[in-house]
Amino acid sequence: MSSARDTVLGRIRDALALAPTPPVVVPRAYRTGRALPDDERLALFTERLLDYKARVHPCTADRTAEVVGEVLREHGARRIGVPAGLDARWLAGYEGEVRQDHADVPPARLDALDAVVTGSAAACAETGTIFLDGSPDQGRRALSLVPDLHVCVVDLSTVEAGVPEAVARLVPERPTTLISGPSATSDIELERVEGVHGPRTLVVVIRTDA
């Protein structure tokens, strides 16, 4: 008896032989390569983030520590987690406990954190989406998932206008997470409700000159 693999591939070849169709050329007439001026990208990105109930704090890079500190204080975060590669200067305005994450920390321990602060790989203004790709300033996926507050620092220079431009920035082999607002569900009467399993609060610090 042949393997399931051979059988399934054989069936597919049979099917295509029984019902041959002409080759297809994919038309890509949709918008790509869009570039918007900084102020327009910032305005669009902010509007879309707010629309999906993320909180937004635009600031200049030199105020990063101040804003991050304020946000954490405001939410009463006394113990936070950070990825190993996070710029330590961003936390200069924070006085609580900082735990640097590493792969051996069991996920259950992350549940004891009040918040997590990460950087980001890219973003999409039109959809209000942030892309994390596991780079050292973003850490492993569990870190930005388990704590209930996610403070994400996004440099405006990494914010692209649309989805194609943002996807082009990604490195396929990296574990990548697209985040658009806090966790939400439409499962009750198809009405969107924020706050289920992922972080219930997403704060985006947009560095307008970085």
Partner 1 sequence: MSTFLGMPAPPPRSPYGTGNLRGDRAFPRAARDELGNDQLRRNLGRATGTIRAKRLNVTGELPDWEALRDAGSAIKTDAMNRLPELLEQLERRVTERGGTVHWARDAAEANTIVARLVRATGSDEVIKVKSMATQETGLNEYLESVGITPYETDLAELIVQLADDKPSHILVPAIHRNRDEIRQIFLDRIPGVDPELDNVPAHLAAAARSYLREKFLTTKVAVSGANFGIAETGTLAVVESEGNGRMCLTLPNTLITVMGIEKVLPRYQDLEVFFQLLPRSSTGERMNPYTSLWTGVTPGDGPQHFHLVLLDNGRTAALADVIGRAALNCIRCSACLNVCPVYERTGGHAYGSTYPGPIGAVLTPQLAGMHAAKDDPNSSLPYASSLCGACFDACPVKIDIPSLLVELRHQHTEQTGLTPEKLAMKAAAAVMRRPSLYAAAQKASALGRVVAGRDGTISRLPPPLSGWSDSRDTAAPPRETFRSWFASEEGRATLRAAATDPNSEQKGEETA
Q: What are the angstrom distances between the C-alpha of 51 and each of 55, 120, 192?
A: 10, 20, 12
Q: Which token pair is 46?
A: 């902010």
Name residue, tokens 């658009």: 180
Please list every residue from 66 through 85 that binds partner 1, using CB under 8 A. Answer: none
Please list every residue from 106 through 125 that binds partner 1, using CB under 8 A. Answer: 107-108, 111, 124
Strands 149-155 and 201-207: parallel
Contacts of 171 (CB under 8 A, 6+ apart): 133
Q: What type of residue sits at position 117?
A: V
Choosing from 36, 42, 48, 161, the residue that interacts with partner 1 (CB under 8 A) is 48
Note whether 86 binds partner 1 by CB under 8 A: no
CB-wise, 65 or 184, nearer to partner 1? Answer: 184
Per rule CB under 8 A, count of chain residues that contact partner 1: 82
Note whether 209 binds partner 1 by CB under 8 A: no
| Phi and psi angles of residue 103, each rounded to the nearest 5 degrees, phi first | -60, -25
Note whether 52 binds partner 1 by CB under 8 A: yes
CB of 119 to partner 1, least distance (A): 16
Note whether 189 binds partner 1 by CB under 8 A: yes
Name the DSSP letter for residue 110: H
Please list every residue from 149 through 168 that binds partner 1, using CB under 8 A. Answer: 163-164, 167-168
CB of 156 to partner 1, least distance (A): 19
Stretch that binds partner 1, among 56-64, 70-78, 88-96, 188-196 (CB under 8 A): 188-196
Note whether 58 binds partner 1 by CB under 8 A: no
Please answer whether residues 118 and 132 qualify as being in contact, where contact means their C-beta atoms are separated by less than 8 angstroms: yes
Question: Using CA atoms, how far apart are residues 37 and 96, in angstroms rounded to an integer?
Answer: 38
Question: Using CA atoms, how far apart are residues 71 and 15, in angstroms rounded to an integer?
Answer: 58
Beta bridge partners of 82: 100
Note whether 35 binds partner 1 by CB under 8 A: no
Stretch that binds partner 1, among 10-18, 57-65, 66-74, 87-95 (CB under 8 A): 10-18
Note whether 18 binds partner 1 by CB under 8 A: yes
Note whether 37 binds partner 1 by CB under 8 A: no
